[in-house]
Amino acid sequence: MKTFSVKAADIERDWLIVDARDQVLGRLATQVAAILRGKHKPTFTPHLDVGDYVVVINAKHVRLTGRKADQKEYFRHSGYMGGERFIPFRTMMARHPERVIEMAVKGMLPKNALGRKMYGKLRVYAGSEHPHGPQAPRQLDL
């Protein structure tokens, strides 16, 4: 038998909607990252982007377990000495709730050009409204 390898021209992509309401952040992010990579398909190929587009709605209703809501901080650095900034989780959720999911998923994708291409197929919205009706996305229950 020969090993089947999918070609770039044969890749079919779907649009999926994931509702983040009352979902745990890490568990949601792992499943979304697997869909973006294409690991749920039998034609998964590690060196190709075979994943689907994912639209995450209700990002402002995602939750954390335990005391993580009080302890979790997001780090960024300006590049200058002493230029580090720590943003608490509650502040990030109040200002930019979609970034919480985006950063969690991005950390679970490959750190190379292929991972950046996969990350480009993720759309996150704080509320339940999204502009992707013409793509006819189907609901995905996680």
* Residue ranges making up the domain that contains 77: 13-140
Domains in the chain, number: 1
Residue 7 lies in a domain: no
The two three-digit tokens of residue 49, written as one number = 């982007």
Residue 64 lies in a domain: yes
Residue 3 lies in a domain: no
Q: Is 103 helix (H, G, I), strand (E, B) or coil?
A: helix
pLDDT in tens, 64-115: 999 999 999 999 999 999 999 999 999 999 999 999 999 999 999 999 999 9
The two three-digit tokens of residue 17, written as one number = 């909607």
Q: Residue 91's pLDDT is what?
A: 97
Q: Residue 142's pLDDT is what?
A: 80
Residue 1 lies in a domain: no
pLDDT of residue 3 exceeding 90, the answer is no
pLDDT in tens, 29-43: 999 999 999 999 999
CATH number at residue 35: 3.90.1180.10
Residue 125 is which amino acid? Y
Residue 135 lies in a domain: yes
CB 93 within 8 A of CB 100: yes
User: What is the C-alpha to C-alpha distance for residues 98 and 1, in angstroms, rounded to an integer?
Assistant: 46
**Cβ neighbourhood burial of 59 (10 Å; 0-12, 13-18, 19+):** buried
The two three-digit tokens of residue 95, written as one number = 């200002």
What is the percent of the chain where pLDDT is above 70? 100
Residue 129 lies in a domain: yes
